[in-house]
């Protein structure tokens, strides 16, 4: 386990959030009161846009449940980790002559699954983990604990649109491989050598239709029992280690 601080920090108020962003603290989740107005609101919204930070517009009651203090219509959870740029990582990998293996998490919602997956990603040499800015499990203390500190070691890249990021990776020469039961081809029959991005889907809905439509390959894990699926963190481990096996031959 890591000795780094896993305390999840929060901030509220328009000016405090502006100062947090300007000082390099990137929020994990931002809630803004519906209809919020004020002299500093345009500055805040401009910062959120320029830093590509997603936010949710919520009723005042939501903010009142998050804090009893004067929130001024703004509340944010600050991430305990620093998010990385997927463009910068892929460019660095390719320039160094390496064959990147990226992991895309298509809306994983359980923090323990998130942590366990990132732990396996660190062990298998994944160069970056891509997560959506909205609809994904937060980078919480529980997620960090489940990852055994791997969330501090593997670059985590947030994106507003995982499909757009997948297209970008394709343009960089990476093949997109979706781990899904909606195919006849197993991971053992799928070429996982070279530059690749492996996609793992939501615990209930799986991988989105849009991602399945644009990917280069679909691959499943064979199941001999009567239960129709594996826990996503277990499945991720099996898929990633098959990729390691192929890439080490």
Q: In this predicted structure, what is the pLDDT of residue 36?
A: 94
Q: pLDDT below 70 — which residues of the chain?
A: 1-8
Q: How many CA atoms lie within 13 A of 30 on its CB side?
A: 24
Establish if 1 belongs to a structural domain: no
Q: Are residues 14 and 123 both part of a single domain?
A: no
Tens-digit pLDDT profile for residues 174-224? 999 999 999 999 999 999 999 999 999 999 999 999 999 999 999 999 998
Neighbour-count burial of 39, counting CB atoms closer than 10 A to its CB (0-12 exposed, 13-18 middle, 19+ buried): exposed
H helical segments located in the chain: 14-22, 41-50, 60-66, 86-95, 111-123, 141-146, 162-171, 209-214, 232-248
Is the domain of 72 the same as that of 98?
no
Task: Supply the pLDDT for residue 48.
Answer: 92
Domain extent for 26 = 9-78
Asked if the structure places residue 205 within a domain, the reply is yes
pLDDT on residue 8? 62
Determine the 3-state secondary structure of 107 from DSSP.
coil
CA-based R_g, the chain, Å: 19
Per-residue pLDDT at 9: 78
At residue 7, the pLDDT reads: 55
Angle of helix 86-95 relative to helix 162-171, nearest 10 degrees, comes to 20
Domain final residue, candidates 17, 51, 78: 78
Q: What is the domain-level CATH number for residue 90?
A: 3.40.1280.10
Q: Which of 47, 78, 109 is the last residue of a domain?
A: 78
In terms of domains, do 95 and 162 share one? yes
The average confidence (pLDDT) of the chain is: 92
Question: Total structural domains in the chain?
Answer: 2
CATH number of the domain enclosing 22: 3.30.1330.30
């Amino acid at each position: 386990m890591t000795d780094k601080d896993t305390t999840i920090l929060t901030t509220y108020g328009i000016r405090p959030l502006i100062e947090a962003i300007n000082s390099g603290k990137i929020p994990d989740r931002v809630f803004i009161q519906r209809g919020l107005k004020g002299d500093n609101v345009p500055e805040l919204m401009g910062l959120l846009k320029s830093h590509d930070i997603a936010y949710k517009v919520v009723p005042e009651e939501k903010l009142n449940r998050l804090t009893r203090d004067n929130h001024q219509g703004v509340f944010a959870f600050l991430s305990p980790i620093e998010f990385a740029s997927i463009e910068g990582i892929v460019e660095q990998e390719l320039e160094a002559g390496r064959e990147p293996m990226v992991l895309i998490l298509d809306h994983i919602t359980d923090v323990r699954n998130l942590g366990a997956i990132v732990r396996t990603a660190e062990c298998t040499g994944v160069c970056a983990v891509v997560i959506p800015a909205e609809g994904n499990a937060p980078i919480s203390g529980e997620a960090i604990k489940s990852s055994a500190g791997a969330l501090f070691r593997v670059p985590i890249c947030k994106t507003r649109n995982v499909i757009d990021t997948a297209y970008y990776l394709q343009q960089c020469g990476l093949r997109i491989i979706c781990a899904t039961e909606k195919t006849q081809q197993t991971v053992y029959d799928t070429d996982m050598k070279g530059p690749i991005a492996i996609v793992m889907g939501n615990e209930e809905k799986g991988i989105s239709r849009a991602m399945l439509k644009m990917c280069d390959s679909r691959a499943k894990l064979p199941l001999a029992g009567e239960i129709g699926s594996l826990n996503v963190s277990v499945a991720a481990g099996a898929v990633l280690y098959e990729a390691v096996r192929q890439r080490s031959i």
